[in-house]
Amino acid sequence: MDLIQNLELEILELREMLKNKEEDLREAKRNKFSKSYDNVIGTKSNINIGNIPKWAIERYSRQILLPDIGVMGQEKLMSSKVLIVGAGGLGCPASVYLAGAGIGEIGIVDYDTVDISNIHRQILHTESDWCKSKAKSAAESLRRINSNIKVTPYTIEFKPENAVQIASNYDLIIDCTDNVPTRYMLSDLSIITKVPLISGSALKMEGQLTIYGYRESRNEKSSGPCYRCLFPTPPPAAAVGSCSANGVAGPVPGAIGSLQALEAIKLLVGRNRENLLVGRMLIFDGEDMTFRTVKLRPKNPKCESCSDHATIKQLTNYEVLCKMQSKEKDLDLNILPQSHRISATELSKSLNTQRHLLIDVRSEAEYNMCHLEDSVNYPLEQLYGEKFDLLVENIKNNDNVIFICRRGNDSQIAADKILKVLPDAKIKDLSGGLHAWAEQVDRRFPIY
């Protein structure tokens, strides 16, 4: 028995020794690598091979082996500057691969902070980055991936007042944002500054990407349509989906962001127009796992931004263009008069004394995530379907009807629609929605 125990102890000791030796070996390798890098920085020493140093050949060998990249392509990547706007679902994977590929300088712009609901897809941020600036968190992670590149975080909103000055320092812009005003601005910016733009988007299980503002050389006209050629007038704000309202599967922006990085690498090493997504859009459907490329409409000969008759010579107010309300106003539509609204605290008190019909108009998936006890689910779109009459009948027979949604906008739309057919109905909407409930009444209720 003793013999077996002794042997086991010896095995444990040997394992420990092996682990230490392995760590020593890794440390020695790391030292060797950084020493050889130190030798090269700031010098044209004789260990340079061709035009790129030994350390870079070792580090980037797997992509240099590709005939489309090669040593010359690697040199171009290492002297390129890429600006990534948005450090979210698309910006994280796009910048990871660009940092990995050794892009000389990466600028990353984002005014927001990391939210816990971002982490399922925004792979540069971790739990310990929660509430940190996204641009700073992304920059820190990128520097950990590649300490040989320069990374500049911009913790600001990218807007007409600062966009031209920042973008002019870069060779390429990558649109990783999530809103229409910024998309129009980036497209115009690309035409004005002659910096090409790789635009991506992802929502639910779908994503797409294309290149705008591509030019064979700076003196040539841009090829392919710009965003304004395709969408001369912005869609109504309500028709635009967002990840926070519609959801997104993490790997979908992961795939699109990675492909944006791939297009960036190809563009920077000088691949031909035909090999790039110029005048074409790649569409990915994660539901049935298909990729398809569609040809985009040609340039609009009357485009205000990129045609010969362009009138847009400087950036304008894109919030006005897209008829956006300010973010605060967005949170509360104020459709209903005060007499048809009830605060979360008032509702909580009233629930203790009276019977109510609580109608939750969120989607079924949201309702299943969390809902108030005894509420019934009646998704907003059903108000426009065949069950509407049934709902009206139900409401007629109730004295206390409360419409509920996430933030208090859809519930007002629903209540307003019912009031148009039943003007005397005893209807109210929960002001501020379930967010207000979570903040004012029950902190256990999840805010999403």
Ligand X SMILES: Nc1ncnc2c1ncn2[C@@H]1O[C@H](COP(=O)(O)OP(=O)(O)OP(=O)(O)O)[C@@H](O)[C@H]1O
Q: Which residues bind ligand X (CB under 6 A)?
A: 85-89, 109-112, 117-118, 122, 134, 157-158, 177-179, 182, 242-244
Does 229 show up as a binding residue in the annotation?
yes
User: What distance in Å separates the CA atoms of residue 43 and residue 27, rounded to the nearest whole number?
Assistant: 25
Rounded CA separation 277/228 (Å): 17
Q: What 3 state SS string does 267-318 have?
A: HHHCCCHHHCCECEEEEEECCCCEEEEEECCCCCCCCCCCCCCCCCCCCCCH
Compute CA 195 distance to the chain's CA centroid, rounded to the nearest angstrom: 21
In the complex with ligand X, the residue whose CB is nearer, 200 or 213, is 200
> Is 131 annotated as ligand-binding?
no
- Of 92, 243, 322, 370, the active-site residue reads 243
Q: Please, which residues have CB within 8 angstroms of residue 215's CB and are 6 or more apart in sequence?
A: 194, 196, 221, 222, 223
First to last CA, the chain: 59
Catalytic annotation present for 243: yes
89 among the known binding-site residues? Answer: yes
**What distance in Å separates the CA atoms of residue 121 and residue 91, rounded to the nearest whole number?**
10
Which residue in the list 92, 176, 322, 405 is annotated as catalytic?
405
Q: Give the nearest distance from C-beta 229 to ligand X in angstroms.
A: 22
User: Other C-beta atoms within 10 Å of 234: how many?
Assistant: 18
Give the up-direction half-sphere exposure of residue 167: CA atoms within 13 A in the CB hemisphere.
26
| Residue 148 annotated as part of some ligand binding site | no
Task: Establish whether 322 is an annotated binding residue.
Answer: no
Catalytic: 405? yes
CB-side exposure of 439: number of CA atoms within 13 Å?
10
Least distance (Å) from ligand X to the CB of residue 213? 18
Pairing label, strands 105-109, 150-154: parallel
Query: Among all residues, whose Cβ is closest to ligand X?
Result: 88
157 vs 439 by CB, closer to ligand X:
157
Beta carbon of residue 176, minimum distance to ligand X (angstroms, whole number)? 6
Least distance between ligand X and beta carbon 154 (Å): 8
**Which residue is it, tokens 């349509």?**
225
DSSP letter string over 86-125? Answer: --STTHHHHHHHHHHHT-SEEEEE---B--GGGTTT-TT-
Closest CB to ligand X among residues 43, 242: 242
104 in a known ligand binding site: no
Q: For residues 85 and 413, which CB has a smaller minimum distance to ligand X in the complex?
A: 85
Min dist CB 392 to ligand X, Å, is 34
For ligand X, give the closer residue by CB, 202 or 344: 202
Are the beta carbons of 158 and 166 closer than 8 angstroms? yes
Smaller CB separation from ligand X, 43 or 117: 117
Return the amino acid letter for 187: S
38 is in an annotated binding site: no
Give min distance, CB of 239 to ligand X, in A.
16
Q: Of the candidates 209, 236, 225, 234, which has an alpha carbon nearest to the alpha carbon of residue 305?
A: 225
Binding residues for ATP: 89, 110, 134, 178-179
Return binding residues. Answer: 89, 110, 134, 178-179, 226, 229, 303, 306
Active-site annotation, residues = 243, 405
Binding residues for Zn(2+): 226, 229, 303, 306
